Amino acid sequence: MRWLVTVLGVVSALAAGPVNSAHAEPPTRADVLAARLAKDPVQVTDHAPRELPADTAARIRAAVGRLGVPCYVVVGLPGLDERPGELIPLLRDRLGRDGVYLVTDPAGGGTARQYGGSLPVTDAWLAAGRELPYDAGAARHVERFVEILRDPNAGRRIAERWRTPRPERRDLSEERDRREMAALGGGAVLGGLPVLVLLVVRRRIRRARSELR
């Protein structure tokens, strides 16, 4: 009987294996990004080539290297699940490493937080946004952010920027759509009308998604 019980136990274990694996939770966005950051602390999406030049990652890596503290940077498209301020604690939890965490979109719309230090990174990121035009881009935003943090008068500079009106920030993809529509406007009668309609629909869909966040 013992051999029968043993065989039944083995069979049950083998049968349960695929069931458990089938119900395993898929990795979250934070899981995927944290795994990538563990290999390379500067992650730049390749899904926005027009907003992010080829040298973006190299410029960001050079800039944060001047801070002298560990930095983990994610430049990606806005997520539907977490905002930058919500994603940063998740990344820190999964990496388990102290340092400056910075999450931003290609236009520089994001935030920064430091673990294990006291640099005014959140305020410096906001101050950098007030010093730059809305279309400065992520690399230039990071460079100005580092410049502010390394400024001997960083506190005064940040305070002054809080009294400066925030520059108008527009969606870069909407700006691109406006330029494309303007270029096609003159030739709409000759066949550009379907493309114009497509651009209008695409813009309305994007606007509707942003209102749902």
Q: Are 204 and 133 in the same domain? A: no
Is 125 a member of any domain? yes
Residues 97 and 189 in one domain: no
Pick the closest to residue 161 from 197, 120, 131, 191 (CA basis).
131
Q: Where are the alpha helices (DSSP H) in 49-192?
A: 56-65, 84-95, 121-131, 138-150, 154-162, 172-185
Residue 134 located in a structural domain = yes
Residue 34: closest CA among 119, 97, 115, 100: 97
Q: What's the number of domains the chain is made of?
A: 2
CA distance linking residue 13 with residue 11, whole number of Å = 5
Q: Model-level pTM?
A: 0.69
86 and 121: one domain? yes
Strand 110-115, strand 42-44: pairing: unpaired
If asked whether residues 126 and 197 sit together in one domain, one would say no
pLDDT in tens, 31-52: 999 999 999 999 999 999 999 9
Are residue 106 and residue 204 in the same domain, yes or no?
A: no
Q: Is the pLDDT of residue 127 over 90?
A: yes
Q: pLDDT tier at 167 (50, 70, 90 boundaries)?
A: low
Mark whether 142 and 202 lie in a shared domain.
Answer: no
What is the domain range of residue 205? 172-212
How much is the pLDDT for 58? 98
User: Residue 198 has what pLDDT?
Assistant: 52
Q: Are both 53 and 139 inside the same structural domain?
A: yes
Residue 138 lies in a domain: yes
Same domain, residue pair 201 and 139: no
Question: Is the separation of the CB atoms in 67 and 149 below 8 Å?
Answer: yes
